[in-house]
Structure 1
Amino acid sequence: MKILIIEDEFLIARRIERMCREILGPILSEISCIGNLADAKVYLETNKLDLVMLDLNLNGEDGLRILQQFAAESFHTIIVSAQKEKAVDAFDYGVVDFVSKPFEKERLKLALDRAGSTIDMGTKQLKFLSVKSKGTLKIIAIAHVAFFRGSDIYSEIHLESGEYFLHDKTLEQLSQLLSHSFLRIHKSYLVSIAQFECFLNKAGGRNFLRLKNGTELPIGRTRYPTIKDKLGLNR
């Protein structure tokens, strides 16, 4: 696991680094610390990471700008901050946890466990994704997404309007962040529950799900009973 700590207080940054090394052990392959927004942006643009641990007050600069600019990247983010009032805004951009300062090792361990697994995130749901389109950053509301399609190490975001964009998060990562509003119907598809219209049974025992915009997507054979149950169609 490769981690970047973005924290302007040297002693806190080193404490987080030490705890990460103790908690993760050999799983941790690389960890770096940066104390300002400008250097953090350069590092994020030139390095592939698994996790960012981010303070929201960086010498008076707003750490949320990192979330907004890099929400299209594949890494997960844990906020470590005393600014509890910004927790709601942070979760809107898909952070996996918000660790309030001051914190203990056990609390940091829980956050790291959440980042490395598919632990249920309760009501903390992703509301926006950012994508890079034609050299600019575009913010997409999750409410306008019909489905995601896996494409190698990327995902395609398909909007209800028919537009689609590439995103650097995998389907597995998106499933973790959207566990209550989307269903994994196939190894290659993650579908908005709100966009569901009906099931289709076709020749050869193949099952499909039709969305409100008319799109038909295949359902994995082993997933069909579970999906019907989650949509309340077995009751």
Structure 2
Amino acid sequence: MMRVLIVEDEPLIAQRLERFCRAELGGDLEQLRVVASLDAASGFLGEHPIDLLLLDLNLEGRDGMQLLETSVAGSFHTIIVSANTEHALRAFEYGVLDFVPKPFMQERLASALRRATRALVRAEHAARFLAVRKSGRVELVPVEDVIFVQGAGNYSELVRRDGRRELHDKTLERLEAVLPGDFERTHKSFVVRLSEIVSLHAYEGGRHEAVLRDGTTLPVGRSRYKGLKERLL
């Protein structure tokens, strides 16, 4: 079931987005809320969990990127629906799942919504930054500084080159959807940058491991070992 928030200040477009979302998501839609301002969106996000945010970047003359820079740290996915296509690259760098330019047809939005429901599909435009919350503020961690990600229940831990660990509000599955193609799911609990793996080892009893450049040893799932080995050749 999906909980959706639409942030759009033009009533006709907001109605169109709501209609298309209901048509595409159907019985999978648990909740849909429409707000018209950044303040209303921030207030709603502070009190209600969601799965998907549809965000315009020009809201009553205010820049929706202000909300994007904080929302990408959330556990939900974000789809930008905006005529401000000059911001598309920056939005993808922050880890949005898709950018739907205005004016849009139903099928284009439907395509973005299908990507959101699949969740495991790797983004065509990978994020360059991952946002983490720290003491009431948001810090952008460069993806190039991350060597692997470990699942931690409803959260993920970003492990950086200097050994620091940063807690991210997205699950491993949702985070995997916006990481670059150099990251590979090696185990149910790990996504690893392939260029950091220096060797693979198979042991009796079906145990497999990957050794990283810094000496870290990580488990490799039995079903993933062969495919991972072929990618590394």
Aligned equivalents of 2:4 and 2:52: distance in 1?
5
Give 3-state SS (helix, strand or coil) of 2:40's partner: helix
Q: What residue is the counterpart of 2:89 in the other structure?
A: 88
Q: What residue is the counterpart of 2:135 in the other structure?
A: 134
Give 3-state SS (helix, strand or coil) of 1:8's partner: coil
Preserved contact between residue 127 and residue 180 of structure 2 (Cα < 8 Å): no
- Cα 1:120–1:137 change in 2 (3 A) is closer
For residue 202 of structure 1, report the CA deviation from its aligned partner.
Answer: 4.3
- Cα 1:147–1:44 change in 2 (3 A) is same
Preserved contact between residue 53 and residue 77 of structure 2 (Cα < 8 Å): yes
- What do the CA deviations read for 1:14-72 (whole angstroms, capped 9, x no partner)? 11001111111111111111111111111111110010000011112111121211222
Structure 2 letter corresponding to 1:121: A
- Cα 1:120–1:155 change in 2 (3 A) is closer
Give 3-state SS (helix, strand or coil) of 2:96's partner: coil
Q: What residue is the counterpart of 1:55 in the other structure?
A: 56
Task: Name structure 1 gaps, 5 residues minimum.
Answer: none
Q: What residue is the counterpart of 2:23 in the other structure?
A: 22
**TM-score normalized by structure 1?**
0.94
For residue 98 of structure 1, report the CA deviation from its aligned partner.
Answer: 0.8
1:174 lines up with 2:175 in the alignment = yes
Q: Which deviates more from structure 2 when the two are superposed, residues 191-200 or residues 14-23?
A: 191-200
Structure 1 letter corresponding to 2:72: A
1:121 to 123, 134, 139: 123
Give 3-state SS (helix, strand or coil) of 1:177's partner: coil
1:150 lines up with 2:178 in the alignment = no
Aligned residues: 231
Q: What residue is the counterpart of 1:207 in the other structure?
A: 208
- What do the CA deviations read for 1:134-192 (whole angstroms, capped 9, x no partner)? 33321100100111111111111111111002111111112211251201000000111
1:33 lines up with 2:34 in the alignment = yes
Structure 1 letter corresponding to 2:131: S
**TM-score normalized by structure 2?**
0.94
Task: Name structure 2 gaps, 5 residues minimum.
Answer: none
